[in-house]
Chain A
Amino acid sequence: MGAPASGVGALASTEAAAPDRSSGGSAASVDAAIVVEGITKRFKQTVAVDDCHLVVERGAFVSLLGPSGCGKTTLLRMIGGFESQDSGRILIHGKPVDRLPPNRRPVNMVFQRYALFPHKSVYENIAFPLELRGVSKKERRKRVQESLELVRLPGVEHRRPTELSGGQAQRIALARALVGRPDVLLLDEPLTSLDLKLRKAMQLELRSIQEELGTTFLYVTHDQEEALTMSDRIVLMNEGRIVQEGEPAEIYNRPESVFASHFIGETNLLEGEVVAVESAGTRVRVGSLGVAAPTGDVSPGVTAAVSVRPQAVAIGPGVVHDHENRFRGRLERRIFLGNLVRWYVEIDPGVIVTAEGPAEDPPLEEGTDLEVSWRRDDSILLPEPS
């Protein structure tokens, strides 16, 4: 167990330096940290995970992101060995693990509710995997000490898990999962039971621990902000399927579906009919308005949606002139967010566009007539979900 772990560290650091990870490169995938090939899992009638393919490169921090019930936890549990797939196979560091029970897979898991052993002290909890593996007492002491330092919580060895706060308990759970130097660490929404402030601090800390160790992290979350903050890559899941995969910026800027644009970040979704496809761009009729969007894989007559991020929308009379989209509307609501202001503008009956930006001076009153505009290239053309 110890021998491959040191190899991972060396390999991982070079990997982390080159974040150029094009997905699906089959030559690289043979030796990837995790390869999931066509995994399907049914619970009675419902399909929890539907023909998923996934390659996680060594040393990467990858998030499985999706709404609850999308199958992300089930997929993680199959990689961990807690559920068995109906079809497909899983390789970890190039070796098939499908027949191996959890205790014989080179992965460890951090659970949502810590899952510490209340009858053992913190020290005994962390030493547990080492003890099972017959590591000598002296070595155990050293490794537990290192783990506690890694999670920045030295000096709590003799406490009981019940005497720890939520944040401390999760750090101990992390130390316990890492002390055996797994090839891959699986994390199942580990920060959900913490409060917001602690959660944000832990996000950064988790990331720096991951970089320090170079261990591959596969992180399940339903929190898009969390996924954007921490990940090298995000794997977006919906209804048992992987719907999009890429680097955070890529997923945010170029969503490939209405679901993706909606789930990651806030967006305006304008649904309508494609009326013209030209070399310069596409026109979509939304209500009585014509919205300009870039060219896309659509033909006239089909329904489509245009997604535009609130921060791409400008407001006010006398706005920027190179904006292809320009609509008159009425300010329905103005919300002060502290550093930003959000405006809700009705540009057509029932069509409300949200804009976001620094506060205007003087503040606009609700009910004012104004103009909203955005560049054609800020429109994202999405095929309708049908």
Chain B
Amino acid sequence: MAIRAALTSEQLDLSARVAMLFRTREERERWLSLAQLTPATAFLLVFLVGPLAVFLIYSFWVTRSYQLISEWNIENYREALTQGVYRDLFRNTIEIAIVAAAITTSLAYTYAHLIRFQLRRFQNVLLFVAIVALFSGYLVRIYAWRTILGDEGIMNRALLSLGLVDKPLSFLLYSRAAALIVLVNFLVPLAILPIYAALQNVSDDQIDAARDLGAGAFQAFRKVTLPLAWNGVFAAFSFTFIIAAGDYVTPQLVGGTSGAMIGRAIADKFGVTFAWPLGAALSFLTLAFVLAILSVIRFGSRRVLR
């Protein structure tokens, strides 16, 4: 206290003056961490939680002559769950998204495992390649796949010139398979990074120890490497599953009828048809399905991976 009195305020720099606002070091650190959390939290509250809350409210309203009217009801949810068209779209969406996420995660795991363990010398180059792929344009890639898979595309022309088919295979494009290919291609780089990061935390010693204690290569993977990397693998699966389930461009451009997904329908509700309440209800149902499936996987994996 004596020292503090001896100093004039000019002699104290700003940080020291701020520091004196708090009595103890713990108190100061608590405030500091709070201050650090504030901007991101505020941003998420205003631009994510806020709009979501608004749409959650809308989903219980109705529209009449292009006006939102606050007439509380659950008709939107009933319609979304009972109408055959939405049921089919939900089923398609979940199926495609799960398959896409599963394929993506497996491919990404293989790649990440390879650069972490087998090709360690080239890991920087290979990671760079993955990141570059991440930044190449989404639409550009969809159109690239259209030119590859389309009637006039490389695949069909090659098949024609080899005489394997006598007219272009139109099912290459506008099919579920096409939607899956495009989604996987787009998502793989995104999934590599979290898996790679998680594999960095698995030490060579731990794998050696597993082998040493009697585990074969697969058992060491199954009982040590995978459980230790699981958080990253699950993060990769969640990312890709969520993105795939919410995509509405890919299915429209390459998916055809068998590859149609709920995202397109939701986009239409908010666009041309101006059925915001129904669109919001469909959105929240999608969200609920996605979260339910991820929870089941999370919970189930905790029992299996020990």
Contact = CB atoms under 8 A, between A and B. Distances in A.
A82 B227 contact: no
Contacts of B184: none
Given A109-B208, A111-B208, A115-B206, A132 B213 contact: yes
A176 interface: yes
B44 to A, nearest CB: 31
A207 interface: no
A118 B203 CA distance: 11
Contacts of A80: 208, 212
Contacts of B210: 117, 128
B302 to A, nearest CB: 10
B228 A111 contact: no
A43 to B, nearest CB: 13
Contact of B211 (A101, A118, A180): A101
B216 interface: yes
Nearest to B203: A115
Size category of the A interface is 20 to 34
B306 interface: yes
Contact of A119 (B214, B215, B227): B227
Contacts of B217: 101
Size category of the B interface is 20 to 34
A101 B208 contact: no
A108 B306 contact: no
Given A115-B203, A115-B206, A119-B306, A132 B214 contact: yes
Interface in A106-129: 107-109, 111-113, 115-120, 124, 128-129
B214 A115 contact: no
B209 A133 contact: no
A103 interface: yes
A117 B224 contact: yes
B205 interface: yes
Contact of A108 (B212, B216, B305): B212
Contact of B208 (A82, A120, A128, A129): A82
A120 B215 CA distance: 15
A91 to B, nearest CB: 19
B222 to A, nearest CB: 11
A187 to B, nearest CB: 12
A102 interface: yes
A196 B174 CA distance: 70
A112 B216 CA distance: 22
Nearest to B209: A115
B214 A103 contact: yes
B110 interface: no
Contacts of B9: none
Contacts of A115: 203, 205-206, 208-209
A133 B214 contact: yes
B306 A124 contact: yes
Contacts of A120: 306
A306 B205 CA distance: 43
A176 B213 contact: yes
B219 interface: yes
Contact of B228 (A109, A112, A119, A128): A119
Contact of B216 (A81, A82, A103, A177): A103
B214 A129 contact: yes
Contacts of B216: 101, 103
A272 B256 CA distance: 91
9 contacts: A81-B211, A103-B211, A103-B212, A116-B209, A117-B209, A117-B228, A119-B227, A129-B214, A133-B214
Report, nearest first, the 3 A-B pairs whose CB atoms are least far apart: A115-B205, A115-B209, A129-B213
Given A80-B208, A103-B211, A115-B205, 15 more contacts: A80-B212, A81-B212, A82-B211, A107-B212, A109-B209, A111-B209, A113-B205, A117-B206, A118-B228, A119-B305, A119-B306, A129-B213, A129-B214, A177-B213, A180-B214
Interface of A: 80-82, 101-103, 107-109, 111-113, 115-120, 124, 128-129, 132-133, 176-177, 180
